[in-house]
Chains A and B, each alone.
Chain A
């Protein structure tokens, strides 16, 4: 093809130019779509890496909390005053925490039943039963600590501290250590 016969072939050249323009616009559109797809893929990758990092950090943090609360739980002296009765203390010292908690639950139910219809009107007797109940709550909180359950233990200790009973100060001391 040369300049002389360009006019004779004008229609085919016009069609070639139309195809060329269409092809270039189509490719630019393809680039835009591919770029958008890539950006979405990168965003998804970043999101999944961040989520994985959060999970890992969360797991590490959770393990640390659990480890710390166990240490505090095991540093608590059970022997002083034979807390809760010898059987509960013995189970806790053996490390049989589930069994200890079961005993605590049973003893609590028994005490609560007695408090509903006490055998006597003696105020000191009733006060002692209420103190025994709070002591059971404290022992249960220590069991939770020894199981590494930071948040459950913290909530239980907060309840004892807020109740203002005979073991409120002990609960407060334990909370400070957490």
Chain B
């Protein structure tokens, strides 16, 4: 669990749940931590709380 702290966090944003599923499954195989969001609003709110994320 401590290792996860250092793993980069990827936030996936898409309004289509199917796209999230495909992107999430694919990126997860690369070993990243993943967060998902269905709207830009949620994404911004989430980003304000967590700094080390790369946006999609």
Is A bound to B? no
